[in-house]
Amino acid sequence: MILTYENMKRILVTLMLILSVTALFAQKERWQVRSGNKAYGKGDYQKAELEYRRALDKDSTSLRAKYNLANAMYKNQNAEAAQQVAGKMLSDSTGIMPSEKDMSDIFHNMGNYSVAQKKWSEAVESYKNSLRINPGDMETKSNLAYAQKMLKNEQDKQNQQNKDNKDNKDNKDQDKKEDKKDNKDNNQDKKDQNKDPKQDQNQNQPPPKITPQAAQQMLQAIQNKENETQEKVKKEKAKLLESQQKEKNW
């Protein structure tokens, strides 16, 4: 294509139109941001959020609109969404990167958003990141100290709960052991109750004493019984002998 005067004129007109439209959108974006700031200052955070969103519709790369939008969402009790918007400002490599001062402020705000959600560990990290960029910020230092205190309280509470759970488990184990012992003792008691008292008395009763006269009588009775047995045996042998002789003589 040969660049003639007419062609160059058309290109210049097109560029001027593009620049004019861009400037117009940028002007509208700034106007929406200013309108949002005005509503924010009056405490009308819902209107402020709406205006910041309109500004982003005009210019999606506007750092100021994103930054203010996150704060308005935080004021509207939506800290989680605010944290997501702020986080994208730090991770979005396609848009305009914040300056160091802006990054310090963003980290500070992200710490506030985490505090609102009681995410103490994340809050501590965000405040530390802010102070790494701007070490002299007293407000961030104060917020960091508060977040660290709340994090320690949470950790102490968790440790105490873990200890209580362990103690409860130990107590339950001890109760089980004691219940087992009690059951064993109860079974033994029932067994003892079912025993015949006379049997215990007989087992514990000492053997009766025997007088010398009684012992002599018992020995005499035994001897008489033995004599009777021997006499009976002699008679049986005599009968057997007599029977055998008869058989032999047959």
3-state helix, strand, coil split of the chain in percent (to 5) is: 85, 0, 15
Type of residue at 82: A
pLDDT at 59 over 80: yes
pTM of the model as a whole: 0.58
Distance CA 250, CA 243 (A): 11
- Asked which of 98, 116, 143 is the last residue of a domain, the reply is 98
Count of H helices and E strands in the chain? 9, 0
Instruction: Look at residue 186 and tell me if it is in a domain.
Output: no
Q: What average pLDDT does range 105-111 have in this prediction? A: 97
Number of compact structural domains in the chain: 2
Confidence of residue 147 (pLDDT cuts 50, 70, 90): very high
Residue 246 lies in a domain: no
Question: CA-CA distance, 233 to 168, in Å (whole number)?
Answer: 84
What percentage of residues in the chain have a pLDDT greater than 90? 46
| Alpha carbon distance 126, 243 (integer Å) | 128
Listed in sequence order, the residues at least 6 apart from 58 whose beta carbon sits closer than 8 Å to its beta carbon are 25, 26, 28, 29, 32
Residue 125 exposed, middle or buried by CB count within 10 Å (0-12, 13-18, 19+):
middle
Give the pLDDT confidence of 202-249 residue by residue, as tens digits: 555 555 666 777 777 877 888 888 888 888 777 776 555 544 433 323
pLDDT tens digit string along 180-209? 877 777 777 666 666 555 555 555 555 566
Which of 1-5, 59-63, 92-96, 200-204 is predicted most confidently?
Answer: 59-63
- Whole domain around residue 161: which residue ranges? 102-170
37 part of a folded domain: yes
pLDDT for 54 equals 94
pLDDT over 90 (residue 141): yes
Convert the pLDDT of each residue in 4-55 to its tens digit. Answer: 555 555 555 444 444 443 443 446 578 999 999 999 999 999 999 999 999 9
Give the chain's mean pLDDT.
80
pLDDT for the residue 24: 39
Residues 25 and 81 in one domain: yes
CA distance 47 to 72: 9
Q: What is the pLDDT of residue 21?
A: 38
Residues 55 and 64: their CA atoms lie apart, in Å, by 9
Same domain (yes/no): 146, 76: no
